[in-house]
Amino acid sequence: MRAPFTPQRRIYLDANATTPLLPEVFDAMCPFLLESFGNASSIHQPGQRARSAVDKARSAFARLLNCRAQEIVFTSGGTESDNLALFGVTRPEPSANSEPAHLITSTIEHHAVLHAAEELARRGVEVTFLPCDKAGIVSPESLKAALRPNTRLVSIMFANNETGVIQPIQELASVTKRHSAALFHTDAVQGAGKLPIDLAPTGTLANVDLLSVSGHKMYAPQGIGVLFVRQGVQLAPLFHGGTHERQRRAGTENVAGIVALGKAAELACAWLTSSDADSPAALAALRDRLEQTLLAELPQAGVNGAGALRTANTTNLFFAHVDAESLVIALDLNGISVSGGSACQSGAAEPSHVLTAMGLPAEKARASIRISLSRTTTAEEIDEAARVISASVAQLRSMSKSWAASHALAPA
């Protein structure tokens, strides 16, 4: 695989914030920026070429999710897809028995879901936020106990953007269907393209009704996404205008972005079934190599979410007596790009809501960083990153009063 386009060559380990645009994806979309720029709703030849490209990309993405092409709705990204799912299904109007609508989600969701749920609550929807355990897992038992006759939607994320922890989506969706008439939505922004997804009527995720995807988390450009809407699900649109996307998402199609996402889906299909050096297993091995090196070299460090199933590319590490923001800045100055958590929370004074929901004290949460590899990450980059991270943590600890105090009190 060719190296991605980057302004300068550095070690980029923040793929959960955004992935590099793969050259193959850029090559696929470029003609629709410069040459075949027709509107896909126009009936002339340039419009027909654009429509054909959109249809081809829709089919390619449907193959990645193993669903029908007509169940794919193109959006501007993960946030819009999440909002369309929640607001399109969970409206404030009371049910037939006059009870207000009820939504169930979790405390560890991305803010695209959390803030949408909070807005629905302000509009009169009853919202239940399920807790997670210390590994970051939402239990099917807690979901079963929270279901009500007026529950309209359950929304639990597929894989966590901060820890990479994978939820038991198949079981959670099954519990929902066995014990209620509610629809089930999953934010799969950090799962699509990293994990197998089978949404066929007989597939492992047959009980999932709605699923959100963001292109820039899977090597396509920013500004394009997907909402899977299972056939038969009634969805109220967020936008009102033309009849685009089967009247589910008004607005002129982003043809170049859609073509790019279709190409990214083709590449993801190949990667997910690969067994060579460019495979999910190989990426997980690099992630584990980084973790093992850092834990061996640095005392009072650990992995948040250790022991749970995680996406192959993600680790969330804490380093006692180190401020995460200071560490992120130090690493950036040394050519290493990592994150203190979700990119949407950059600059936030509060500790990660995901880590505190997992039971971490605020001090430990503030000492945690997220490292997320991409499919272009090399072993040499991992070894260099481990060296720089170890040196940076040691240097920051040497300037920490709490670190000095803890060592001064330690027995000789």
Active site residue 30: no
Identify the active-site residue in 30, 132, 269, 344.
Answer: 344
What is the CB-side half-sphere exposure of residue 397 using CA atoms within 13 A?
A: 19
Angle at 406 between CA 404 and CA 410, to 5 degrees: 115
Question: Taking the CB of residue 329, how many other CB atoms lie within 10 A of it?
Answer: 13
Q: Is-contact 354 160, C-beta < 8 A?
A: yes
**Residues whose CB is less than 8 angstroms from the CB of residue 102 and which lie 6 or more positions away in sequence, other chains included:** 125, 126, 127, 128, 148, 150, 151, 152
Cα–Cα dist 202/305, whole Å = 31
Give me the active site residues, please: 344
